[in-house]
Amino acid sequence: MSGASSTRPAGGSVPQPDPPSPRVTRVPIAALRTAPWYPRVAGLNEEHARLLAECDGELPPILVRRSMHVIDGAHRVRAAQLRGRNDIDAIVVDDSEDEAFIRSVTANSRHGLPLTLRDRKQAAARLLRMCPDKSDRAIAELAGLSGKTVGALRRSIDDLPQLGARVGRDGRVRAISAPRDAVPDSRPATDPPDAGAGPAAPAEPRRAPSRTGESTGSSTLLAFPAHQQPQQILAGLMRDPSLRYTEAGRTLLRGLHQQSMVTDQPWASLISAVLPHCLPAVITLANSYAESWKQLGELAEQLMQCSDRKVS
């Protein structure tokens, strides 16, 4: 029988088709451009390019954006020029500038001429500004550094936002040390810090907080003063065991954390760059998302009111 072959895994599960191979095309070298975010501080290494030019056989395809900015393979481009070539094999991708930078850093950290320590630190600093919500280890994995080095870099950058949680390499959101004026932490010191940890022992039932805040014995309920900033409120929720140790709670925390990353965007400057034909779609999506969050708030208020009536 004709067709692509595949191997049926043990247990009779349906075999999955192999992912399609990336399409390789020939692009003119004259059209290629050095990316403004090229990760090598000292620029191209001419000696390495000459060594590549002297190798027998064809070199692997380079990786470029639609803009013809080289993501990976600048030394191969130079080697092709030294060989007298006018074009080169390439894989063209539709990455955004940030995606292209991350791919460039990871590619150059793992093959070919390795990035220098200085290159990696500079890349990590840019990644921290691009993704301040990522954990030190997640950034370190991308840049080819240790988590300790990335942590030191984070502390040395004054203009990074101070977040109440970070996203780890596994995609889970984990609370971190909150600012001094954040919601007081009522959990025992022995509680595990990982928001993705297994379930804790069942907690005693607690009634919902009133709008002005109240205490119930040994623990203060999460009723947040109006003067607190959203990030401070989120930091308090990230530390609450009733949310951290349930699947529904963690899902809600992830959604709240992702929303917090976009609420402070300079919307006026962003929307002014959108072409008119895209505006109706943006309006529909923005209104839809706003309505969804409004429904969440209304449901939470209804539950709080029901809880208050039961207690009274």
* pLDDT tens, residue order, the chain (312 aa): 444 444 444 444 455 555 566 789 999 999 999 888 888 888 888 999 998 999 888 889 999 999 999 999 999 999 999 999 999 999 999 888 888 898 888 887 766 788 888 999 999 999 998 888 888 888 998 888 899 999 999 988 887 777 777 777 777 777 775 444 444 443 433 333 443 434 444 444 444 444 334 333 333 334 445 556 777 777 777 777 777 777 777 788 878 877 766 666 677 777 777 788 888 888 888 888 888 888 888 888 888 777 666 555
Domain finish residue from 114, 138, 156? 114
Instruction: Answer for the pair 174, 166: CB distance below 8 angstroms, yes or no.
Output: yes
Strand 165-167 and strand 87-93: the pairing is unpaired
169 part of a folded domain? no
CA distance readout (Å), 282 to 69, 240, 276:
28, 35, 10
136 part of a folded domain? no
* Full domain range(s) for residue 29: 22-114
Instruction: Answer for the pair 139, 172: CB distance below 8 angstroms, yes or no.
Output: no
The tokens describing 291, both together, are: 């309505």
Return the bridge partners of 167, or none.
134, 173
The pTM for the full model equals: 0.47
Cα 179 to Cα 237: distance, rounded to the nearest angstrom: 14
Domain of 47, CATH number, reads 3.90.1530.10
Number of structural domains found in the chain: 2
CA distance readout (Å), 118 to 66, 71, 87, 115, 123:
29, 19, 32, 8, 9
